[in-house]
């Protein structure tokens, strides 16, 4: 089942005796666990009595089964979270003990009605051919919790923004898509920061997003290119200083700028050949937003000017690597040259 299917079931309090949550997107796994906790354990529940968490790289699964079968001392329901079931991987990890999978498979055929076990497997793949995996799928609920695709990023930004009670202005979406990765924890953290700033029912504009969202190295190089195009030396130096605080090295920034200007040059040449935006993206293997911005920028440069800029970047790269100039000074001089 998909993450959303399982979450909808849980929200309706349709709770299964066993869950298998597998995949590398921790946000999905934690979200489902949070809602199962709300459904299974009353607010007044004593966590020491009704909630247990195990690491199956340190504890054999038979102890988890024994705990599940033990009726809670004060009645009610039990919730057991069993992390890292490496026995589900195609090549299980070597451990100093053996998991009694026969005991687990026997439990899966007749689980008790007062315990819910959640197995969390933070692996890209599990071995679907194994008997224990098949039984988990047949007698429990399985949710695939892998990272979202790049094309789903905008809808998840909208979804999480909606849950926080804020609206994203149209002109802010492109910036957010370029700044944020497909890591949903990062998206929620950044949007929570924006929600704190604009308040409930507030609107996040591009200006607000640019001011508050943590910038990645790639996106900051886009902003540096903007500053160079606008011949805004003050802004270019300011962005550079921000990147310094992020521990970005000048040699890495030269490479990032070189990538951006090479992309602009390649897009310009492909545009002359009549390539569509989608074909350019496939050809260059970069984010669609990068292509869109490069198409806007390439009109401001001649092919000769772009090649001249790339040559200047190459010269600075060599000067830094050969120790002919202090790297910070070399980068600031480069910015001066590019702006001029």
Could you tell me if 338 and 312 are in contact, meaning their C-beta atoms sit under 8 angstroms apart?
yes
For residues 134 and 159, state if they share a domain.
no
Structural domain including 70 reads 3-144
Q: How far is CA 196 from CA 191, 208, 212, in A?
A: 9, 12, 11
Identify the pLDDT of residue 240: 83
224: pLDDT strictly greater than 90 = no
190: pLDDT strictly greater than 60 = yes
Q: Is 5 exposed, middle or buried (0-12, 13-18, 19+ CB in 10 A)?
A: exposed
For residues 247 and 286, state if they share a domain.
yes
The span from the CA of 337 to the CA of 340, in Å, is 5
- pLDDT, mean of residues 3-16: 89
Could you tell me if 143 and 19 are in contact, meaning their C-beta atoms sit under 8 angstroms apart?
yes
244: pLDDT strictly greater than 80 = no
- pLDDT, mean of residues 309-335: 89
Residues in CB range of 117: below 8 A, 6 or more apart: 17, 18, 19, 64, 68, 80, 81, 82, 111
Question: How many other C-beta atoms lie within 10 A of the C-beta of residue 138?
Answer: 10
Residues in CB range of 263: below 8 A, 6 or more apart: 284, 286, 290, 291, 294
Domain end residue (candidates: 124, 144, 164): 144
Could you tell me if 209 and 176 are in contact, meaning their C-beta atoms sit under 8 angstroms apart?
yes
Domain end residue (candidates: 144, 174, 191): 144
Check residue 2 and report its DSSP letter: B
**Predicted confidence (pLDDT) per residue in 290-314, tens digit:** 788 888 889 888 999 999 999 999 9
**Predicted confidence (pLDDT) per residue in 120-139, tens digit:** 999 988 998 999 999 999 99
In the three-class reduction of DSSP (H, G, I as helix; E, B as strand; rest coil), residue 299 is classed as coil
The span from the CA of 108 to the CA of 68, in Å, is 11
Identify the pLDDT of residue 174: 76
The span from the CA of 125 to the CA of 274, in Å, is 41
45 pLDDT tier (thresholds 50, 70, 90): low
* Percentages of the chain per state (helix, strand, coil), in multiples of 5: 60, 10, 30
35 pLDDT tier (thresholds 50, 70, 90): very high
219 pLDDT tier (thresholds 50, 70, 90): low
Nearest to 22 by CA among 138, 139, 128, 155: 128
- pLDDT, mean of residues 50-58: 92
Could you tell me if 119 and 33 are in contact, meaning their C-beta atoms sit under 8 angstroms apart?
no
Q: Which two tokens stand for residue 190?
A: 């950044």
287: pLDDT strictly greater than 80 = no
Nearest to 159 by CA among 176, 141, 171: 176
CATH at residue 316: 1.20.272.10
218: pLDDT strictly greater than 70 = no
Domain end residue (candidates: 106, 121, 144): 144
Residues in CB range of 2: below 8 A, 6 or more apart: 143, 144
Nearest to 18 by CA among 45, 35, 36: 36
What is the average pLDDT value for the chain, to the nearest integer? Answer: 87
For residues 232 and 318, state if they share a domain.
yes
- Cα angle 325, 331, 337 (rounded to 5 degrees) comes to 105
For residues 138 and 159, state if they share a domain.
no
CATH at residue 45: 3.40.50.300
278: pLDDT strictly greater than 90 = no
For residues 30 and 139, state if they share a domain.
yes
Could you tell me if 133 and 18 are in contact, meaning their C-beta atoms sit under 8 angstroms apart?
no
3: pLDDT strictly greater than 80 = yes
Identify the pLDDT of residue 308: 92
Q: What is the count of structural domains for the chain?
A: 3
227 pLDDT tier (thresholds 50, 70, 90): confident
333: pLDDT strictly greater than 70 = yes
323 pLDDT tier (thresholds 50, 70, 90): confident
For residues 179 and 258, state if they share a domain.
no
Q: How many residues does the chain have?
A: 340
**Predicted confidence (pLDDT) per residue in 67-100, tens digit:** 999 988 777 889 999 999 999 998 888 889 999 9
183: pLDDT strictly greater than 80 = no
Which residue has tokens 């094309």? 151
Q: Which two tokens stand for residue 314?
A: 């190459």
268: pLDDT strictly greater than 70 = yes
Identify the pLDDT of residue 48: 65
- Say how far residue 94 (Cα) sits from the centre of its chain: 29
Identify the pLDDT of residue 76: 80
């Amino acid at each position: 089942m998909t993450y959303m299917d399982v979450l909808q079931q849980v929200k309706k309090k349709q709770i299964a005796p066993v869950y298998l949550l597998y995949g590398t997107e921790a946000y999905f796994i934690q979200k489902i666990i949070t809602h199962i906790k709300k459904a299974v354990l009353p607010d007044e529940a004593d966590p020491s009595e009704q909630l247990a968490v195990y690491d199956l790289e340190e504890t054999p699964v038979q102890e988890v089964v024994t705990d599940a079968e033990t009726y809670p001392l004060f009645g009610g329901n039990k919730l057991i979270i069993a992390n890292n079931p490496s026995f589900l991987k195609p090549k299980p990890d070597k451990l100093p003990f053996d998991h009694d999978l026969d005991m687990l498979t026997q439990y899966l055929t007749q689980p008790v009605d007062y315990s819910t076990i959640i197995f969390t497997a933070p692996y890209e793949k599990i071995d679907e051919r194994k008997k224990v995996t098949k039984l988990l799928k047949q007698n429990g609920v399985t949710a695939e919790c892998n990272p979202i695709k790049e094309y789903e990023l905008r809808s998840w930004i909208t979804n999480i923004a909606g849950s926080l009670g804020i609206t994203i202005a149209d002109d802010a979406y492109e910036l957010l898509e370029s700044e944020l990765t497909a890591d949903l924890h990062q998206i929620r953290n950044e949007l929570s920061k924006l929600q704190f700033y604009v308040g409930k029912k507030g609107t996040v504009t591009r200006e607000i997003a640019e001011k508050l969202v943590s910038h990645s190295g790639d996106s900051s190089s886009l902003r540096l290119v903007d500053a160079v195009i606008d011949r805004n030396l003050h802004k270019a130096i300011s962005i550079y200083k921000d990147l310094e605080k992020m521990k970005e090295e000048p040699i890495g920034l030269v490479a990032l700028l070189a990538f951006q200007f090479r992309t602009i040059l390649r897009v310009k040449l492909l545009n002359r050949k009549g390539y569509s935006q989608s074909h350019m993206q496939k050809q260059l293997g970069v984010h669609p937003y990068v292509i869109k911005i490069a198409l806007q920028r390439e009109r401001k440069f001649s092919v000769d000017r772009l090649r001249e800029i790339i040559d200047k970047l190459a010269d600075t790269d060599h000067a830094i690597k050969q120790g002919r100039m202090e790297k910070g000074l070399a980068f600031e001089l480069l910015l001066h040259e590019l702006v001029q």
